[in-house]
Structure 1
Amino acid sequence: MSEKKRGNPYLTGNFAPVRTEDDFDLEVVGEIPEGLAGTLYRTGANPQFEPLDPNYHWFTGDGMVHAFRVGGGKVTYRNRYVRTPKWELEHQHGRSLFGGFNPMLSDPLAAGQDSGVANTNILFHAGRLLALEEGHMPFEVDRDTLAPLGYASEYAGRVTAHPKLDPKTGEMVWFGYGVGPHPFSTTMSYGVTDASGKVVQRTDFEAPYSAMVHDFLVTENYVLFPVMPLTGSLERAMKGLPGYAWEPGKPSYVGLMKRGEGVSAIRWFMTKPGYVFHPMNAREEGDRIIAEVCLYDAAPLFPLADGRPGARSGARLTRWEFDLTGATDQVKETAIDDLDSEFPRLDERFAGLPYRHGYYAADTTGAKSVKMNAIAHIDLKSGVRKVCTFEPGDQVSEPVFTPRSATAAEGEGWLTTVVWRAAENRSDLVILDASDVDRGPVALAKVPRRVPFGFHGNWVDA
């Protein structure tokens, strides 16, 4: 292994892949809450073989699903690779064949072959467990065995890793970017899958410029598409420069579309350069749309267009306001929290609707990295924030909310998160009371090895 690869931060520490597929009964410490029964599914990047690119990027590794099944006071763990066509082709040849963000490094055997990794999110809709990443169609896996069931081909193109489930209609609302002749195209798609799982809409439109559009926002009646200056360029990529890069000279745009009116009616709002990987939620209030997002001053994890390293930046919870009257096309921004944050979540029964409680992974050290050491709850009505900070060196994953019951009040339930215990180099599933996170874990389940840093997950009731 070259020295450059050995020093790649996404191949060391808890970013490093775990290449075994295991089934464990976990030791439980504390008491699993009565009524908490189901599975926390998480996914992340876990390259099957040593990457070809010495500048391997975390976002391009093979997907691996981690399933924590909870019930009867017990917890089991299972992990499996998502066996996409890419995974199968490389497995057949026993080595990496795809160059990730640098297609110039791909092996000739990869030419014309599917490169999907299904590594970013996993959710359950219409009876199907879908592994997602924004460059390809959803990839279905069996909810029990995690065995591959193949691409959901009815989507007919790239789909976001962050669809939104409408709690009123049961629809899955989604988009795709870079859906034109190449991944750096300015063409985007808007789509809807109905409650039965049938794709009922996919319509293309043009963005102001090519950008990595990782996530978006949906309210009861509107959709918002953030196009921010983490830009894509095929020309750059073919020259060996970054395919995706931070270009702070470009403004940020947010396209606002009324659901049911179609993409021809998108209205573009503008705001200063910044980047949002993940919003918390958005809702309508009279003639305004209000949203809470984790906003960076500069996109982290990516270089500048000339290849120089980008600035370190931490996201802060920020409120966006959009005027529906037409009086202004400017987004109003208001900082609402001073703690570095990522992976914001909410009680999903209130997705797109007025809500009060939000949760996120936090960094109390101000290190300006994606390594988070705490879980936070913010009451957006009172402004009160509660934080559970873990031991020095420990790192947390995205907090996922599960209500106590289908009729429980907003915020009454539990948060599940996976915590890497740095001193022991292994991980725990941690359960917190969502309304009392600062009291610390209600219970935890000890994994006998580490679970690599991942991206997103969701809870599915038993």
Structure 2
Amino acid sequence: MDGEVITNPYLRGNFAPVRTEDDFELAVAGEIPEGLRGTLYRNGPNPQFEPRDPNHHWFLGDGMIHAFRVEDGKVVYRNRYVRTPKWRLENAAGRSLFGAWRNPMTTDPSALGVDSGAANTNIVWHAGRLLALEEGHMPFELAPGTLDSRGYVEAYRDRVTAHPKIDPVTGEMIWFAYSPGETPLNAAVSYGVTNAQGQVVRRDTFQAPFASMIHDFLVTDRHVLFPILPLTASLERAMSGRPAFAWEPDKGAFVGVMRRDADVSTVRWFNAGPCYVFHPMNAWEEGDRIHAEVMRYDRAPLFPNPDGSPGEPCGAKLVRWTFDLAGASDAIVETPLDDLMGEFPRFDERRTGLSYRHGWYAADTRGSDTIRMNALAHIDLLTGARQVWELPAGDFASEPVFTPRSADAPEGDGWLTAVIYRGAEDRSDFVVLDAQDVARGPIATAALPRRVPFGFHGNWVPA
């Protein structure tokens, strides 16, 4: 294997894959809250074989689900690969077969035309289905508890976002997709709705200003927002050996706004200065204005310039974008909300698309422009007050997931669950925090005998 792959940063340290599938009952320190019963499911990339493509990226590894089942004060851990068609084909061959970003130039001939989905980014529960999501393919269903692979949900017909939003009033799952269709890296965008019974009731497609990586989007009770930011996509560039995705700030930055019940031809485009957002926190409406809290980067991290040269390191900070739907200007007004670098923002999702007060995120108190976060933070959006639990040097936090104390508990009253990598011991912990007292640190910790690799997103499913 050539040196470029061996030295790839996404194959070293806690980015490196864990290739065993295990079942552990974890030793618990502290006390699991009596009302906390259910499972934290987390998803992340975990290549089963060393990648063949020198342009291998963290975003491309096979999906692995890590499940922490909490019941009667005990925590049981299980992890399983998502057995996609890609995983099965490579598993049978005993080696990697697919090139990066569906690049046919670096794909083994035996894998050309075969589905390349990795189902590695998020995992959500909707309409009685546990769905592993990755923005390049259809949702992939898993069996709750066992994590057995059930296959793609074919009703979606094409790719779907890894970041759908579930309307807390209607139970609908609102979603989108970028670059749908047979041609990779195109400028089309789809908008879709799955009803509370799990039936896909809408899928409409329109053209964005240019082809870009649209990792996430925003939903209010009446509108949907599509960020088209200058992390551009180019099949021609990829086939010439240059980056499939690259930072091109001269393209500008756009956010399309549309009523949820309107035709896609009505999308109105608002403008921002060049920036990138992987993850918003939430969006909500106030009269004719839409407010959206997002983790904003000055440039897209983790991706190079169009010529392949590395980009400058960059961290994200929480800002508010305001859209005046009644005004004549298409400019987005931006208001800083926090000066602490962070990522993976979450909130009490009973307030999805509605006004809200409490948010949580993984934070970097060192200001070292890294995707490895060394703290968890709570921000009160009403007062601006912030609490932080900072980890010892060498330890890193996952995205925090909020779980309400009960179905009718006040907003923000509940717990955070997260996975912490312990650098000195090269293993991980499952932790529970009081969501309103983050600075106190964990009220319960369950120790794993090995590490959980850095991953992306997870969600809590009540028992």
TM-score category, normalised to shorter length: over 0.9
| Matches of 1:133 and 1:251, distance apart in 2 | 26
Amino acid across the alignment from 2:118: V
Residues 46-445 of structure 1 mapped to structure 2, 5 A cutoff? 46-101=46-101, 102-445=103-446
Deviation at 1:234, TM superposition (A): 0.8
Deviation at 1:3, TM superposition (A): 2.7
Amino acid across the alignment from 1:349: R
Deviation at 1:180, TM superposition (A): 3.4
| Matches of 1:292 and 1:172, distance apart in 2 | 20
| Matches of 1:344 and 1:189, distance apart in 2 | 24
Say whether the 8 Å CA contact 1:378–1:385 is kept in structure 2: yes
1:180-233 deviation digits (Å, cap 9, x = unpaired): 341211111000000000000000101000000000000000000000000000
SS of 1:109's equivalent? helix
SS of 1:162's equivalent? coil
Q: Would you say how many aligned residue pairs link Structure 1 and Structure 2?
A: 462
Deviation at 1:402, TM superposition (A): 0.1
Match of residue 452 from structure 1: 453
1:137-165 deviation digits (Å, cap 9, x = unpaired): 00000011101100000001010000000
Amino acid across the alignment from 1:306: D
Deviation at 1:55, TM superposition (A): 2.8
Match of residue 2 from structure 2: 2
1:267-321 deviation digits (Å, cap 9, x = unpaired): 0001111000000000001110001000000000000011110110000001000
Say whether the 8 Å CA contact 2:433–2:444 is kept in structure 1: yes
SS of 1:29's equivalent? strand
Amino acid across the alignment from 2:51: P
Deviation at 1:446, TM superposition (A): 0.3
Residues 26-45 of structure 1 mapped to structure 2, 5 A cutoff? 26-45=26-45
1:25-61 deviation digits (Å, cap 9, x = unpaired): 0000100011100000000000010000123100010
Deviation at 1:365, TM superposition (A): 0.6
SS of 2:92's equivalent? helix
Say whether the 8 Å CA contact 2:45–2:63 is kept in structure 1: yes
SS of 1:402's equivalent? strand
Q: After the TM superposition, which of the residue ranges 100-109 and 17-26 deviates more from structure 2?
A: 100-109
Say whether the 8 Å CA contact 2:158–2:181 is kept in structure 1: no
1:389-439 deviation digits (Å, cap 9, x = unpaired): 011110000000000000100000000010000000000001110000001
SS of 1:26's equivalent? strand
SS of 2:300's equivalent? coil
Match of residue 15 from structure 2: 15
SS of 1:236's equivalent? helix
Amino acid across the alignment from 2:394: G
| Matches of 1:426 and 1:181, distance apart in 2 | 41
SS of 1:362's equivalent? strand
Deviation at 1:123, TM superposition (A): 0.3
Superposition CA RMSD, Å: 0.7
Deviation at 1:250, TM superposition (A): 1.4
Identity value in percent: 66
Amino acid across the alignment from 1:202: R
1:437-456 deviation digits (Å, cap 9, x = unpaired): 00111101001000000000
| Matches of 1:352 and 1:183, distance apart in 2 | 31
Deviation at 1:335, TM superposition (A): 1.1
Deviation at 1:264, TM superposition (A): 1.1
| Matches of 1:49 and 1:106, distance apart in 2 | 14
| Matches of 2:80 and 2:164, distance apart in 1 | 23
| Matches of 2:184 and 2:96, distance apart in 1 | 21
| Matches of 1:233 and 1:326, distance apart in 2 | 35
SS of 2:88's equivalent? helix
Amino acid across the alignment from 2:113: G
Amino acid across the alignment from 2:31: E
SS of 1:35's equivalent? coil
| Matches of 2:328 and 2:382, distance apart in 1 | 27
Say whether the 8 Å CA contact 1:180–1:186 is kept in structure 2: no
SS of 1:169's equivalent? coil
| Matches of 1:262 and 1:422, distance apart in 2 | 50
SS of 1:264's equivalent? helix
Amino acid across the alignment from 2:70: V
| Matches of 2:329 and 2:40, distance apart in 1 | 43
| Matches of 1:249 and 1:204, distance apart in 2 | 25
1:337-358 deviation digits (Å, cap 9, x = unpaired): 1111100000010011000000
SS of 1:338's equivalent? coil
Say whether the 8 Å CA contact 2:86–2:116 is kept in structure 1: yes
SS of 2:399's equivalent? coil
| Matches of 2:70 and 2:42, distance apart in 1 | 14
